[in-house]
Amino acid sequence: MVTTRTNNPAQLNHILILSENPQTLSNFYRDALGMTISKSKDLLLCEAPQRRVLIGQGASHELGYAAFTFRDASGLASFREMLRATKTPARPSPSSIFGSEALAVMDPDNNVLVFGLPPSGDSPISDSPDARLQHFAITTTQLEEMFEFYTHTLGFKSPDTVKDEQGAMRAFFVNSDEEHHSIGIFKASEARIDHHAYDVVDWNAIRDWADHMARLDIQMQWGPGRHGPGNNLFFMVHDSDDNKVEFSTELERLIPPRETIVWPYAPKTLNLWGEAYLRS
Ligand SMILES: [Fe+2]
């Protein structure tokens, strides 16, 4: 089974998070992630090199959209063609970060996925250390339908799934390039944002970001630990809306051939080192 998307890679570029308190939430990302805040139409744009989060007024814990870039125009064109072949409706992109060539699709939970090209003259200069927006995770009540959409309709590949003792899928991860996952999807009692994650350079950077959070009195909520799927080191904090924010390093880079791993639905899958939380 092919578990790595090596043809036409795409990478997470930005996400829109909705909030009942957009200003407070953007202040969190300014302070905790070293981002500058500016206006982008009716949204607040928080950005630093390699990381960009838009925040808009809405129900907290909802993903407004997640936006991916292909490497060049031919990548976007072939993705558009694939959607046409599978009769998947493409709609105009809602992102003001991308140009008019971008498009959007909607998953079975009505999450919007946007696909475009890297913006020219990207992020502003910042003294803040590296932390690249790398993946996001959501919860869903209809995991099988979501698996079908992300793997068959979008053509992402799943290197790891999590199944319970009855054989029912409880979580899956999909990649859009050689990195283990750019999206994680967990079965739960409601559909919402689960977390989003920043890739840092190494274990020392994990320490430095944790020290930075400590100076801001932002408590670590989970970790440090090592995930089973992806094998990445991580810790998590909560933003001002209680969304989980992950710092991660050593995420597996998939080298074909890589067989699918089916992980047991157990705390150790989520944290090889110790404590974990199961979403359902
Ligand atoms: Fe994660």
236 CA to centre of ligand 1 in angstroms: 9
Order of strands, sheet of 169-175, starting from the edge strand that comes earlier in the sequence: 222-226, 233-238, 244-249, 192-199, 132-140, 183-187, 169-175, 157-163, 261-264
229 CA to centre of ligand 1 in angstroms: 10
CA angle 115/90/74 to nearest 5° reads 50
Structural fold of domain 134-270: 2,3-Dihydroxybiphenyl 1,2-Dioxygenase; domain 1 (3.10.180)
Mean pLDDT of 216-232: 97
Tell me what percent of the residues of the chain surpass a pLDDT of 70. 96
What confidence score (pLDDT) does residue 78 get?
95
Give residue-wise pLDDT tens across range 116-141. 999 987 654 455 679 999 999 999 99
49 CA to centre of ligand 1 in angstroms: 20
72 CA to centre of ligand 1 in angstroms: 27
The pair of structure tokens assigned to 183 is 């999206």
**Residue ranges matching CATH 3.10.180.10 in the chain:** 10-116, 134-270
CATH 3.10.180.10 fits 10-116, yes or no: yes
User: How far, in Å, CA of 176 to CA of 8, rounded?
Assistant: 8
Length of the chain: 280
192 CA to centre of ligand 1 in angstroms: 14
Is the pLDDT at 18 greater than 60, yes or no? yes
Give residue-wise pLDDT tens across range 63-72. 999 999 999 9
What confidence score (pLDDT) does residue 1 get?
61
Neighbours of ion ligand 1 (CB under 5 A): 197, 246
Mean pLDDT of 92-100: 96
